[in-house]
Structure 1
């Protein structure tokens, strides 16, 4: 919504904290998580967007205002176009997408000029919550990495993508089957000490140290809050990704 010049009256503020767009969000009401229906009623919204497929939640919210169950795992082009239609910002959405896609094409072209090889694979992993290791697929950073001109998913990750899953829980023993030529590790949010501890322990383990990407120094860490697939974060990543790969 920010890239289309539209401000919300309320949101789950915990989902904004520490993100790249945090300082661009105007003061708004916190509707909490789970959503506080009374707070939503107080705000008298014209439209409610919710990233959920909970039919009961939809039924409750739709009694307050027109409600759209928004698929945050959908490709960015689809999400921006839908928001443009919903918010009466079709032209702005079309222009933003044209500008963004041109910048993305230029970034991938430069990365290839800098040495990125055709067919290089990439994997994204994170611990959350606690001691549960996840491989990311449709959600977050992979949406950007698996650009037509970008990195490829490994065959095992492609299976997760084929199943339309945002992510999948795996055991550390399966890492060699999912790990690509480059590995991105999402650092758990502050406060999730168990997940951070598990991440540190994994990166000291034999199974991790034996991965080809690790041996070649092709591992990149990024805070999980900076790895979302929203438009503002994707804009930021156009500059951040080349910096990460040059390290």
Structure 2
């Protein structure tokens, strides 16, 4: 009897445990069925993040093979085309004030550290950059900088489209670079259509002149403001300036006696910063040789600050907006 009761008790416990396990199993299955499936997007994102390269290799303008961050965040830029970065929404942590003082974007650079010109290695080191971009091709300078961070030599005098696409590639902003260029060229085309319908005749020539300290006169070619003027739908260079362009030179020093040869139908004077160069400019514009130029006689001489002749993307965009005003008022002041 005791054994039967004991057996019955064990059977009862067994049944009870079976019921509990069945209930737990059902509950667990119900929870699994009711729980959301793992997010495919989230899983893909985690996979992409895990597989995305943190570094990549690039060849710079002089042939250095350099391993750089896939998406640099703390760059030092030492060169003339700082405005290319700003056009893409990239703010470097360091640059040389010699390249941005007096520019139209100087007031946007309050958080930027001046690393000097020539570049100051200790200041760069203190900034702890993850990338350094420099226009200087001096191998000694490059060697010192490359000890601080990955360093690329960039050609700041390359054509705008080439430079901007390079910055888009370096900073993982290729789409932004292409969109900026598309918008810019549309504005550029609209500008020339507007100017041709108003006053500029097909085939009109133009020259850009400036003085440097030491009474040195230069005609500008494949650089800065000239690059805006010498477009397919824009002004044409004179034959002598075309020779400079064909040689791929940004500018060429000339004597004043060559003015009749280089002067176009319209002359643009880049007002220098140096008092010495300003005085040379004024003396040229008082000379008989100058007064006899057709552009001068026709009132087709225009002046703008040399800082507005920068070739960077930000300045270029500003200038194509201001060119009609310059042609109307004969003079353009700093922003």
TM-score normalised over the length of structure 1: 0.96
Alignment correspondent of 1:199: 281
Alignment partner of 2:306 out of 206, 224, 227: 224
Look at both structures and tell me which one has the larger radius of gyration over its CA atoms: 2
CA distance in 1, matches of 2:316, 2:183: 12
C-alpha root-mean-square deviation of aligned residues, in Å? 1.1
3-state SS of paired residue (1:138): coil
Correspondence for 2:258: 174
* Structure 2 residues not aligned, in runs of 5+: 1-84, 330-335
Alpha-carbon separation, structure 1, partners of 2:197 and 2:93: 44
**Structure 1 counterpart of 2:188:** 104
2:239 aligned to which of 146, 152, 155: 155
How far off its partner does 1:3 sit?
1.1
- Between the aligned partners of 2:147 and 2:237, the Cα distance in structure 1 is 42
Q: CA deviation at 1:144?
A: 0.7
Corresponding position of 2:141: 57
> SS of the counterpart of 2:324?
helix
Cα drift, residue 20 of structure 1: 0.9
Aligned to 1:72: 156
Once the two structures are overlaid, the 10-residue window that deviates more, 25-34 or 51-60, is: 51-60
Q: In structure 2, what is the equivalent of residue 47 of structure 1?
A: 131
Contact 1:7–1:26 (CA<8 Å) still a contact in 2? no
Q: Which runs of 4+ in 1 moved over 3 A?
A: none
- Count of residues paired in the alignment: 245
Aligned partners of 1:51 and 1:70 also within 8 Å: yes
2: distance between equivalents of 1:157 and 1:57?
Answer: 34
